[in-house]
C-alpha cells in the first residue's frame, strides 16, 4: 500500500462503532410487549422477521416510535474513538459509511453528526443512505473496509479486492467468507491496519 496519508478507511457505524444492537433488542422487546406480538426474540438472526417476528409495517412503526431514542442511547464500542482518532491523527482518511437514512429519521444526517461529535470521533466524511456500500467505497477510493454485515463485506471485497474486516456480533457468528477476516475489538482492528500498511 502507498503512504498512509493516501489510505482511506471506510467504517460502518451501527455495531461497528456504536453498540446499537443492544438498544435495538431492548426496545424491540418493549415494542413486542406493547403490540402483543408473541414471538421469542432470536438475537442470532439478522432478518427482522426471524429476529422479532416483524413485517415491514412493524419496522416502520418501531422506527417512528423508538429509533431516535435507541440510537441516541447506544454506547460507543470500547476504544473505538481512541483508535479511530489515532488513525486519523496518523494521516489516514476516515470515512463513515452507514445505511442509516432519512426514511427512518428525517434529520438523520445531523442527528448522526451530533452523536459522533458527542462521542469525540474525528472523521473526514460521513455518508448516510448507503445501501450499496461497495459503490461508495469505489467512489471514495476506500483501501480498507470495516462492517458488521457480511453481505456488505462480501460486496465490497468482490468489487474492490481490498482488506475487509467483519466486526463480530451474535447475528453474524455463523457467517464465513475466506477473504474476510473477523475482528473482535478496535484494539485488534488498529493493529491489523498497521500490519497491513507495514507489509505493503
Which pLDDT score is estimated for 166? 98
Judged against a pLDDT cut of 90, whether residue 122 lies above it is answered with yes
Judged against a pLDDT cut of 70, whether residue 60 lies above it is answered with yes
- pLDDT tens track for 13-49: 999 999 999 999 999 999 999 999 999 999 888 888 8
Under 8 Å between Cβ of 46 and 148 = no
Separation between Cα atoms, residue 96 and residue 153, nearest integer Å: 14
What average pLDDT does this structure show over 100-114?
A: 94
DSSP assignment string, 118-138: HTT---SEEE-S-S-HHHHHH
Which pLDDT score is estimated for 5? 62
Confidence of residue 65 (pLDDT cuts 50, 70, 90): very high
The DSSP output letter for 57 is H
What average pLDDT does this structure show over 121-142?
A: 97
In three-state secondary structure terms, 5 is helix
Q: Mind spelling out the 3-state secondary structure of 18-31?
A: ECHHHHHHHHHHHH
- pLDDT tens track for 162-185: 999 999 999 999 888 889 999 999
110 phi/psi in degrees, rounded to 5: -65, -35
**In the chain, alpha helices (H):** 20-34, 48-52, 56-62, 68-73, 80-89, 108-118, 133-139, 150-160, 186-199
- pLDDT tens track for 142-153: 999 999 999 999
Separation between Cα atoms, residue 84 and residue 77, nearest integer Å: 11
Domains of the chain: 4-18+76-199 (3.40.50.1000), 21-73 (no CATH)
Amino acid at each position: 500500500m502507498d503512504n498512509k496519508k493516501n489510505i482511506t478507511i471506510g467504517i460502518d457505524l451501527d455495531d461497528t462503532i456504536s453498540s446499537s444492537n443492544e438498544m435495538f433488542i431492548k426496545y424491540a422487546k418493549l415494542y413486542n410487549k406493547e403490540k402483543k406480538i408473541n414471538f421469542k426474540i432470536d438475537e442470532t438472526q439478522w432478518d427482522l422477521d426471524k429476529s422479532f417476528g416483524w413485517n415491514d409495517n412493524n419496522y416502520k412503526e418501531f422506527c417512528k416510535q423508538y429509533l431516535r431514542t435507541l440510537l441516541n442511547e447506544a454506547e460507543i464500542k470500547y476504544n473505538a474513538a481512541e483508535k479511530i482518532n489515532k488513525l486519523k491523527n496518523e494521516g489516514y482518511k476516515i470515512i463513515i459509511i452507514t445505511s442509516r437514512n432519512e426514511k427512518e429519521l428525517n434529520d438523520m444526517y445531523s442527528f448522526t453528526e451530533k452523536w459522533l461529535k458527542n462521542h469525540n470521533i474525528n472523521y473526514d466524511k460521513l455518508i448516510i443512505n448507503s445501501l450499496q456500500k461497495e459503490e461508495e467505497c469505489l467512489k471514495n477510493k476506500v483501501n480498507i473496509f470495516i462492517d458488521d454485515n457480511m453481505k456488505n463485506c462480501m460486496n465490497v471485497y468482490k468489487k474492490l479486492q481490498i482488506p475487509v474486516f467483519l466486526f463480530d456480533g451474535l447475528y453474524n457468528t455463523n457467517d464465513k467468507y475466506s477473504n474476510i477476516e473477523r475482528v473482535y475489538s478496535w484494539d485488534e482492528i488498529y493493529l491489523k491496519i498497521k500490519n497491513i500498511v507495514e507489509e505493503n
